[in-house]
Structure 1
Amino acid sequence: MVGTHWELVELSAVQREQAIAAVTDQFFNLEQFWHDSSGEALPLTEGLSDAQCQVVGRWPQVQVVVDFHHPHYPQGILRRSFQVFDEAGRVHLHSYAGINLMEDLDTGDLPEPGQAKDGVLRI
């Protein structure tokens, strides 16, 4: 409804930081996500490289943005964004965000590269 807004919940700085870390920690090192029986580090999914994770925005409009290269769109980057809080400042849970990203990449459940804008394909 136009003009409607939510009263913000009260979250301490520590609670906000913990909520953000719960998402960013899943993307800390996508290029060495798995380790095989010999100890070799492997990426989250085959072909993923040059991964970066950044936090953008101010509370409650904080997003975690993950950019990386992948063979699905070799001429640009793939990007997935996660809203950490809702409009009222409540925490969005993204418990399996990293695994969900892996499944989307492994199954090819991705937008067509022609949908990219300015070299970025949002997935």
Structure 2
Amino acid sequence: MSFIVAHIKWILLVCGLLTCSMLLALLAPGLALQNTFGASLEGPLAEVVVRSWGSLITLMGSLLIYAAYHPVHRRLVVTVSALGKLIFVILLLSIGSAYLDKAMLTVVADSIMVVVFALYLLGSSSKS
């Protein structure tokens, strides 16, 4: 835990950059869905929803990068990011099993980030 707290700046930068990769969903929603889930959605509503989803994920990644350089905001950003990633993982595991083969890399990466962020929050609470 102390390793995570000591290196949180670099952890946030890496996690933020990985999370920002969903900019692809904003720019090319069909490609992002195919790469992430191995499926596609059709129609203008699907395009709006997927692009919005991609922009929100990218914004969260940007906030992780911001928090790397602004320690005063780290706990809030890490908490919100961990909750968002945890909800995504739970939804995929509970109702998205048809997409798990293709989405497993994302599930594993987000799960690792959730655990690392939780350990950071636990380890940094003693310093607050």
Question: Under a length normalisation based on structure 2, what TM-score does the superposition of the two structures give?
Answer: 0.32
TM-score (norm 1): 0.33
Q: If you compute each CA radius of gyration, which structure gives the higher value, 1 or 2? A: 1
Q: Higher helix proportion, which one?
A: 2
Higher percent of residues as strand: 1
Give the structure, 1 or 2, with the largest relative contact order (CA under 8 Å, sep 6 or more): 2
